[in-house]
Structure formats: structure tokens, C-alpha cells
Amino acid sequence: MTPDDSPLQPERKGRLRKRFNWRVRGGIAAALFVTGVAVLAEDWWRERARLEATLQRNSAATRSKEDVDSHALRIERTYGIRIGYEDPADFWTPPYKPEDGRAPWLKMTRADPRNVAISLNGIEAALEQYPRGFVAKLIKAVFICGELRMQGEYAAGTVGPAWLIIAARSEYGPQGLHDLAFVTLHHELSSLVLRVDPLTWSKWVQFAPVGRQYAEQPGEALRAGRLPDPPLDTGFLNAYGATNLENDFNMYAEEMFSNPGEVIRLARKYSLIRRKLNLVMETYATIDPEFRNIFRKRGLEGEISVGSPRDRMNSRSSSDSRNLERSRIRRGY
């Protein structure tokens, strides 16, 4: 008799089938459990990696912020001016009031601390070119913003009653941020140099071409600054300098500090540029006589008379070429 013929066979088959089903179900459950644990473990590791990356970024940002703060504090202590780069609403200094730092046509955004760090290097390099204490006589602060727009047009900087504002936009790139901060400090500070003695303005006005029409609004000047440069025999160094009398003085000061080799070459070739440059240098030296030594060391003496014209024209260095590029960046906004 075969087992299948036994009267107990159906019952035994049922027990075996149930046992088999429980084993299958148990195996499936075990497999699902293992899979679930693996998925949970993978999710856990992903979340851990994400949190660690976030902590690293936050830590780097904190270190960057600490580095910026310490650098700014060092500049403040060295030059006696405030360095600000937080909320643009706080870009003002006593005895002035917050509304003195605002204008309906002036729009600013907060700067990225990483961009501020680079801009501070350019600002410090520019400050080093002045006699100690000179800058603090004219301004109380330098502020760094992100984007700066004047009547809708991008600008590299502007000047307040007792402070400068310098833009630090990410699209400038590291070298651009450094160079732009360098030339913009010279450029904007010269507006306050021009205002020290009213007689300087009256002398500077005499260089204006007869019948010259200047831009009356900041946005208009910024747009006109992107036009082709005028002929150098007009006495204007570039298109932006030709937009109004103050911008003309600004461009001479900027080139004098950032690109002396080129401005000397032009002064030797164009008498009007020579006379304008001499007045700009005399304006600085009248405020602080130490500038006479500084200009002499840089080849910028009163009448541009040291050395032969040939020597001067052939003395452009690679640093002058880099400084010329700074001027191009400055005019590009």
C-alpha cells in the first residue's frame, strides 16, 4: 500500500501544506525584514552624510565669518575707520542719521561673507598707499554691499557724507573683487578730497571744455560711462570721466594711484592731462605734505619732470598692465 492509499494521507498533507506555508511566509518575512533594515540603514547613512556635509559647510562659513571679522577689526584699528558689511540699512555713521545713508534711487543687497573677505584685501592694499591718518580725516567708514544699483544701473561704488560704499558682486570673480575694491576706494575717496577746499573745485571747473554737457543723474552717468572713450586731447581719461566734473577728478585720482606708469605717459604726451594731473596731486599734497614723497617715489612729481620722456614711456611694468586692467573692470561696472 502506498502512502497515498492510507486513510490518514489527506490530514497529513494538510499539516505538511500548513507547515510549508508558514516556512514560506517566514522566509518572505525574513527577507522583507532584512531588506527593510538595509533600506533603513541606507537612508540613515544618507541622512548622516547630509548632516555632516551641512555641518562642514556651516563650520566653514563660521570660520570664514570669523576670519572676515578679525580682518575687518584689524583694518579698523590700523586706519581708524569702521568697516561694515552686514545690513545695508546700517550703512551710516554719526553724527549723521540712518536716513542720510538712504536715497530712493539707491538699492543695495547684503554681501556674501566670502566676497567680503576678498574685497577687504583690495581695500587694505589701497589704504596702505595713504599716509597714516589721512583717510580717517575724510571718512568714518567703508561699507561693503553685494549688488549696488543707482537708478537701476549697476555701480561699483558710491560716496556718502562721511563714508564709502563698495560693491562686491559674486560675478566679479576673486581677482575682480580684489581689484575693484582697490580702485573703487581710490575713486570714491577722491570725491571727499575734492570737497576739502572750495578753491580746488573752482580751479577744476576751468578745465571743462566750453559748452560741455554733463550727465545730471547717476544712472545717466553710468550709462554714458559705457560709451566709447573720447579723444585724449580733450583731457578726459575715459568715457566715465567725461560724464561730469567730479567723475573726471575721480578718474584722475584712480589712475594716479592704481596706474601711475600709464598716467605719466599720457601726461607727457598731452599738456591738458599734465595740467590736470598736477592739480590733482597738489590737492592731495595740500591736505597732507607727505604725499609729495609718496608721489616722488612713484614717479609722480609735481611737474612730471623726473627722468627723460623716453625713459618714462618705456618704463611700463607688468604691474602697470594689471592696474590698467583694474581700470577697465572699474568702468565696466
pLDDT at res. 49? 58
Residues 224-281: pLDDT tens digits? 999 999 999 999 999 999 999 999 999 999 999 999 999 999 999 999 999 999 999 9
pLDDT at res. 20? 47
Q: Where are the domains of the chain?
A: 59-194, 198-206+214-332
Contact of 266 with 237, CB cutoff 8 Å? yes
Residues 294-327: pLDDT tens digits? 999 988 865 444 333 333 333 333 333 333 344 4
Q: For residue 328, what are the CA distances in angstroms to 128, 179, 237, 238, 331?
A: 22, 10, 12, 10, 5
pLDDT at res. 215? 93
**Res. 221 pLDDT band, cuts 50 70 90:** very high
pLDDT at res. 293? 95
Residue with the larger pLDDT of the pair 54 and 251: 251
Q: What is the mean pLDDT of the chain?
A: 81
Residues 6+ apart with CB under 8 A from 146: 108, 109, 110, 111, 112, 115, 167, 168, 169, 170
Helix or strand run (H / E) with residue 158: strand 157-159
52 vs 35: CA distance, rounded Å: 25
* DSSP-assigned letter for residue 211: T
**Mean predicted confidence (pLDDT) in 79-102:** 95
Residues 142-196: pLDDT tens digits? 999 999 999 999 999 999 999 999 999 999 999 999 999 999 999 999 999 999 9
pLDDT at res. 21? 56
Q: Read off φ and ψ for residue 167, nearest 5 degrees.
A: -85, 145
Q: How far apart are the first and last CA of the chain?
A: 104
165 vs 88: CA distance, rounded Å: 10
